[in-house]
Amino acid sequence: MQREQKSNSYIVGAVLIMGYLYYRATFQQDFYALPNIIANQLQAQPLSGLFATFTFRYGEQVISIEALGYFGFLGFFGSKIWLFLSYSILAYLWYGGLSGKMREAFTPIVVALLLSVSYAAADEFHQSFVSPAFAMKEDVILAGIGAILAIIAGWFFLIARKGRK
């Protein structure tokens, strides 16, 4: 009974995360709202010399301090870290909820991964209709990597917990 309640709690948490991600993508928002917060804390712009050496493309956008400014550059990484963590948590919650309901070891891994990556793709598709958010396949890949790593971590935690019992 307690295992069933724990599984249900994980699944409810996953649905809440999905609701949050939908809500966040639904409304127009400043794509780099994070830099305003960072600007108040990092007025001296530490490590700007190191960051200036990095220039790359992410989708159609050039990512560099020259193109985005110091705080835009940090904001880009902040938003991608937040994306990665959000989908990591989502996948971990799906895995935790499904592993308590399914006897097989492999099925919860596959289902949690499919749910998380499918939702990332659906979220990016949804963002294509909402301006100024950008739909990018790179974000789906980043979310998928976060989901895979979270499921691997969840699997190790589950194995370690079973080993202690």
Query: From first to last of its 165 residues, what are the pLDDT tens digits of the chain?
Result: 677 788 899 999 999 999 999 888 876 555 555 556 667 777 777 788 888 888 988 888 888 888 888 878 888 888 889 999 999 999 999 999 998 888 887 899 999 999 999 999 999 888 888 766 677 899 999 999 999 999 999 888 878 877 776
SS3 content of the chain, % helix, strand, coil (to 5): 75, 5, 20
The domains of the chain are located at 2-164
- Specify the pTM: 0.85
Site of tokens 């917990």 = 161
